[in-house]
A and B are shown apart, each in its own frame.
Chain A
Amino acid sequence: MQWITIYKKEWLEILRNYKWIWVPLVFILFCIIDPLSTYYLPVIIEATGGLPEGAVFDLPTPPPSEAFMMSISQLNTLGVLVLALITMGSISGEKKSGVAELVLVKPVSHLSYLTAKWAAASTLLILSAAIGLIASWYYVQLLFGDLPFTAVAAAIFFYSLWILFLTSISLFMNAWSRIPGLVLFFTLAALMIMSLVTSVFSKYLAWSPARLSSYLRSLLITGDVPADLWYTSLVTAAMTLLLLYAGTKRLKKSSMLS
């Protein structure tokens, strides 16, 4: 089946250009940097000269769930940037170089082409985020106290939906432009607009995908999945499918030829 062929080829590419090493490493770094630096801040201040005589600087140790949320928020900023960077040329680059011409002259559907690429990139990013978050959980467990693994696993599951949504935005933008830089810009712009609109109309947009990660906090604290998180996940999944559908439609209309 053509879908599998494209998915496999994408993975071969990920192996060849070492994305399978550096993306997980970068995600681990993003995930552990905040919990570690928060924990060791007093030591760091001491080592770099300390506070002036008599100054009292009381740093409250955050609860484990809060420390773990620091990793999530790092992924939401730097992680999203990495995601947009590695997916920006997924289709637009092939259109630009002309390889797409050799692919689409074979009996391949636009849907397979787009979704196989989406699935391959998402697999890499979800695995990387999961590894990063488990590393973070390890340090949180070690330095801040107990955080049940079931809650962390549930958080990773819901966060994966967010990643699937993000890659679908990037692939959708790929269908529109043949310039990878523009795809990057549009993807980040779309995300910024979405989070802005969500925070302005927060009353009406309680289930906006942009709020998905904020619901993870109560999941980590209580261990229960809040109802809002379920609904937000549904909305996120639906929007992901919609973006993939619209991206395929757009791809069919656009000229894939260089």
Chain B
Amino acid sequence: MMKVNKLTKSFGRHHVVDRLSFQLEAGRCMALLGPNGAGKTTTLRLMSGLLQPDSGTVHLEESSGDIRAHIGYLPQHPQFHGWMTGREFLLYAAGLSGLSKQKAGRQADWTLDRVGLKEFRNKRISRYSGGMKQRLGIAQAIIHQPKVLLLDEPVSALDPIGRREVLDLMEELKKETILLYSTHILNDAEEVSDEILLMHEGKVIESGTIEEVKSRHQMEKLTLKFSMDSESWRDYVSTWPAVERVEIHKQTLHVYVTDSGAVRKKVLDEASRDDWPLVHFEVGRPTLEDLFIKAVKNHAVDHHL
């Protein structure tokens, strides 16, 4: 288990990470979510030992000495020596992790196989594609069989095929290590992780399993589309009780409600009675994206009041 306790880091007068506390359980995978500038990268760097916190601690159970020995870390944009081959770089990373020469060789071949770079092992890294570099980045992170794996935006810069490959790899890796990764692609978070940690301006604003978070924000969503005059329909619908918020995107109204039954009935009644120019009507649970936007907005409002 890894415990992060009141972790704080400022650059100048700006609190990038502000009294952050959470814990990671073995065999669980957690996604670190948040808009750009929320402090995700700084959090991962603090946990990996690349940055020293101003205050607070990162504690890994059953480990002593240099915490870096038990952590695998993939930076957002991993950079390599282009003149090295993939295998040479892994041997270098293994040596830096303190593995003996024989073990380094074994581990390098095993990880190369694992990330699917076996046939490119003797090719210069400068000739690798973006996806191959990302997989090599993961390979160097797992070469010393760390207890904790921290991945910073592992799939954000990849094409759909590369994304798929890396996500599948993460599915496997989460069985063996404590996996924490940051992303702003919410689909990926829903797919791989058991838990999410939503950050905004250096603070945790939501955490728990995705289901927990969704039910905590007990909120449902109605989607309405009119053939004309959406703006005035929005103004009308937002005056209803039980309607929390109405947003309009591309002529489509997203109505967030606390009691979907009552609102649905009202919509259907009025639509047939008054002959609304309704072309689309849908009742659904909000997606993670809706939650994300709602939580971040609420936090931003609280913060600035």
Determine if chain A interacts with chain B. Answer: yes
Q: Which A positions have Cβ atoms within 8 angstroms of B?
A: 1-2, 4-6, 8-9, 12-13, 16-17, 97-99, 101-108, 255-258
Q: A2-B98, A97-B79, A257-B45 are in contact. Are A102 and B93 (CB under 8 A)?
A: yes
B92 touches A5 (CB 8 A): yes
Q: How many Å lie between the Cα of A104 and that of B78 in the bound state?
A: 13
Whether B256 is near chain A, meaning CB under 8 Å from some CB there, is no
* Subset of 21 A-B contacts with CB under 8 Å: A5-B95, A8-B95, A9-B92, A12-B88, A13-B83, A16-B83, A17-B83, A97-B79, A98-B75, A98-B78, A101-B75, A102-B75, A102-B78, A102-B140, A103-B96, A105-B48, A105-B50, A106-B68, A106-B93, A106-B144, A107-B96
Known: A98-B79, A102-B80. A107 touches B69 (CB 8 A): yes
Q: How far is the CB of A3 from chain B (nearest CB, A)?
A: 10
CA distance A244 to B71 in the complex (A): 28
Measured CB to CB, the closest approach of chain A to B82, in angstroms, equals: 9
> Bound complex: CA of A183 vs CA of B220, how far in Å?
59
In angstroms, Cα B49 to Cα A97, docked, is: 20
Chain B 197-223 near chain A by CB (<8 Å), digits 1 or 0: 000000000000000000000000000
Which residues of A lie under 8 Å from residue B73 when comparing CB positions?
105
Judge whether B185 is part of the interface by a CB distance below 8 angstroms. Answer: no
Residue B97 is within 8 A (CB to CB) of chain A in the complex: yes
A105, B51: Cβ atoms closer than 8 Å = no
Query: In this assembly, does B280 line the interface, its C-beta being within 8 Å of a C-beta of chain A?
Result: no
Q: CB of B264 within 8 A of chain A?
A: no
Most buried by B among A102, A107, A257: A102
| B66 in the interface (beta carbon within 8 A) | yes
A interface, by DSSP: helix, strand, loop or mixed? helix
Indicate with 1 or 0, residue by residue over B25-51, a CB within 8 angstroms of chain A CB atoms.
000000000000000000001001111
Q: Which 4 A-B pairs have CB atoms at the shortest separation, nearest pair first?
A: A5-B95, A98-B79, A106-B96, A107-B66
Instruction: List 11 additional contacts besides A13-B83, A102-B93, A257-B51; criterion CB under 8 Å.
Output: A5-B96, A102-B78, A102-B80, A102-B137, A102-B140, A103-B96, A104-B50, A106-B97, A107-B66, A107-B68, A257-B50
Which of A5, A13, A101, A105 lies in contact with B81, CB distance below 8 A? A13
Residues from chain A with Cβ under 8 Å of B45 in the complex: 257
Counting chain B residues whose Cβ lies within 8 A of the other chain, the interface size class is 20 to 34
- B-side contacts of A1, CB under 8 Å: 98
Instruction: Give the CA-CA distance A102 to B73 in the complex, in Å.
Output: 8
B77 at the interface (CB under 8 A from A): yes
**Residues of the A chain whose Cβ atoms lie less than 8 Å from the Cβ of B78:** 98, 101-102
C-alpha gap A1/B75 in the complex (Å): 24
Out of B71, B84, B95, name the residue touching A2 (CB < 8 Å). Answer: B95
Cross-chain contact of A107 among B79, B83, B97, B140 (Cβ < 8 A)? B97
In the bound complex, residues from chain B placing their C-beta under 8 Å from that of A108 are 96
In the complex, what residue of chain A is closest to B83 when comparing beta carbons?
A16
- Tell whether, in the assembled complex, residue A256 and residue B79 are in contact, meaning their CB atoms are under 8 Å apart: no
Q: Please indicate the chain A residues that have their CB under 8 angstroms from the CB of B66 in the complex.
A: 107
A17 to B124, CA, bound (A): 13
Tell me the minimal C-beta distance from B17 to chain A in angstroms. Answer: 14
The residue in chain B whose Cβ has the minimal distance to the Cβ of A101 is B75
| Residue of B50, B68, B93 with highest tally of chain A CB at under 10 A | B50
B71 touches A105 (CB 8 A): yes
Which residue among B48, B71, B83, B92 has the maximum number of chain A CB atoms within 10 Å of its CB?
B92
Chain A residues with CB below 8 A from B95, complex form: 2, 4-5, 8-9
Q: A2: nearest residue on chain B (CB-CB)?
A: B96
Q: Is A99 a contact of B50 with CB atoms below 8 Å?
A: no
List chain B residues, Cβ under 8 A from A4. Answer: 95
Q: Which residues on B sit within 8 Å (CB–CB) of A256?
A: 50
Q: How far is the CB of A8 from chain B (nearest CB, A)?
A: 8
Residues in B neighbouring A97, C-beta threshold 8 A: 79
A101 with B79, Cβ < 8 A, contacts A5-B92, A5-B96, A106-B93 known: yes
Q: Give the shortest distance, in Å, between A200 (CB) and chain B (any CB).
A: 41
Least Cβ–Cβ distance between B108 and chain A, in angstroms = 13
Q: In the bound complex, what is the Cα–Cα distance between A104 and B66 (angstroms)?
A: 12
Instruction: Report the bound CA distance from A93 to B51 in whole Å.
Output: 20
Distance from B12 Cβ to chain A, minimum over Cβ atoms (Å):
13
Neighbouring A residues of B97 by C-beta, 8 Å: 106-107
